[in-house]
Copies of this chain bind each other. A is one copy, B any other.
Amino acid sequence: MRQTVNFSAGPAALPEEVLQQAANEMLDWHGSGMSVMEMSHRGSEYMSIQAQAEADLRELMGIPSNYKVLFQQGGATLQFYMIPLNLLRGKASIDFVHTGEWSKKAIKEAKGLAKVNIAASSEDRKFTYIPAQADWRLDRDAAYVHVCMNETIGGVEFHWIPDTGDVPLVGDLSSTFLSSRLDVSRFGLLYGGAQKNIGPAGLTIVIVRDDLIGHAPAGTSQMLDYQAQVDNDSMLNTPPTFSIYLAGLVFQWLKRQGGIAAIEERNIAKAKLLYDYIDSTDFYANPVAVPDRSRMNVPFTLRDASLDAAFLKGAEERHMVQLKGHRSVGGMRASIYNATPIEGVQRLVDYMREFEKQNG
């Protein structure tokens, strides 16, 4: 294990094994004499890398055959625009569940293209819970229902899948991709940036059901049209080849860990370790409703905010970095994605206990 534990919310820590392999192969991939980033995307070497990455992702997530996997650019933010562009299908409005900052950004971009209906919101309690489905006001004629499966800033996560009947469910998986088992068939579309659980920033993965492809309005840029992307196997233009290669290395690492079920078990244990300690003392606090707490992003505050700077300084001295909370929430945030070993979380808890003793 590396000495430094990196709690960044994203771009986030990657598995050490993956980074080591990427370094080893940097000048010569499998005897080709080339770095992966120097390969033509139309050549057999690179084509095999991308095909393997897709196959491994399909296996890991159990993606049904009537779903396409797209490797895109532009981050989730470009998808906030592309999804309504492609999925409106002549309908007038979209249902959104508003659970925090990332829902808000998705809503804002969709408003340029459609009427937005806020089917449910947790703004009344500062986005510290997931609204129960019984309270949602869904519209049967909506083009789709959009949920953000995990909010990195607020630290709230869906641990269940909403039932939206015949209306397609769209999920932003950016910060919870591959962290727990998920029934893909319950969704019409899943998407997310790679920079938390998958690989470097600059790669976006879209998983979309066949019947939702091919509905972009006439005149849509090919780059923004899922049908054109599908027709070209995500190679309408040069894809972000090196990022897809790294994602593929992460998928293989995940398989070596035992797949999603095994990593989910580890993620549950990691989150429990940290939340249990926070709940055991009033020196630290997490404001999120217990059943909706994120396993990926754990925001917490110190009782006395004037100690924040000292806490962060001590953490850095102990090689625990990027713990500062988002400015809108304050305090600290420990992001503990798939690549964070449980030993790293234990080190944080040990330090939190020590800091409390000295300052409590």
Contacts from A to B (Cβ < 8 Å)? 2-4, 6, 8-14, 16, 19-20, 22-24, 26-28, 32-35, 37-41, 43, 73-78, 80-81, 109, 112-113, 193, 195, 199-203, 219-224, 236-243, 246, 319, 321-322
Q: Determine whether the beta carbon of A6 is less than 8 Å from that of B27.
A: no
Given contacts A11-B39, A40-B10, A221-B81, contact A4 B19 (CB under 8 A): no
CA A203 to CA B73, docked complex, whole Å: 9
For residue A75, which residues in chain B have a CB less than 8 angstroms away from its CB?
Answer: 73, 223, 237-238
**Can you list the 9 inter-chain pairs with the closest CB atoms, starting with the nearest?**
A4-B33, A202-B240, A23-B26, A81-B221, A77-B237, A73-B73, A37-B200, A112-B219, A201-B238
For residue A16, which residues in chain B have a CB less than 8 angstroms away from its CB?
Answer: 27
Q: Determine whether the beta carbon of A109 is less than 8 Å from that of B240.
A: no
User: Which chain B residue has the least Cβ–Cβ distance from A111?
Assistant: B219
A63 to chain B, nearest CB (A): 23
For residue A37, which residues in chain B have a CB less than 8 angstroms away from its CB?
Answer: 11, 14, 199-201, 246
A337 to chain B, nearest CB (A): 10
For residue A219, which residues in chain B have a CB less than 8 angstroms away from its CB?
Answer: 112-113
CA A80 to CA B237, docked complex, whole Å: 12
Q: Determine whether the beta carbon of B26 is less than 8 Å from that of A2.
A: no
A218 to chain B, nearest CB (A): 9
Q: Determine whether the beta carbon of A241 is less than 8 Å from that of B38.
A: no
For residue A193, which residues in chain B have a CB less than 8 angstroms away from its CB?
Answer: 237-238
Q: Determine whether the beta carbon of A241 is less than 8 Å from that of B11.
A: yes
CA A321 to CA B77, docked complex, whole Å: 38
Question: Which of A13, A80, A202 gathers the greatest number of chain B CB atoms within 10 Å?
Answer: A202
A281 to chain B, nearest CB (A): 28
Q: Determine whether the beta carbon of A321 is less than 8 Å from that of B33.
A: yes
User: Which chain B residue has the least Cβ–Cβ distance from A33?
Assistant: B4
Q: Determine whether the beta carbon of B74 is less than 8 Å from that of A74.
A: yes
User: Which chain B residue has the least Cβ–Cβ distance from A195?
Assistant: B238
CA A6 to CA B34, docked complex, whole Å: 7
Q: Determine whether the beta carbon of A12 is less than 8 Å from that of B27.
A: no
Given contacts A19-B26, A37-B11, A37-B200, contact A76 B242 (CB under 8 A): no
For residue A13, which residues in chain B have a CB less than 8 angstroms away from its CB?
Answer: 34, 38
A35 to chain B, nearest CB (A): 5
User: Which chain B residue has the least Cβ–Cβ distance from A239?
Assistant: B201
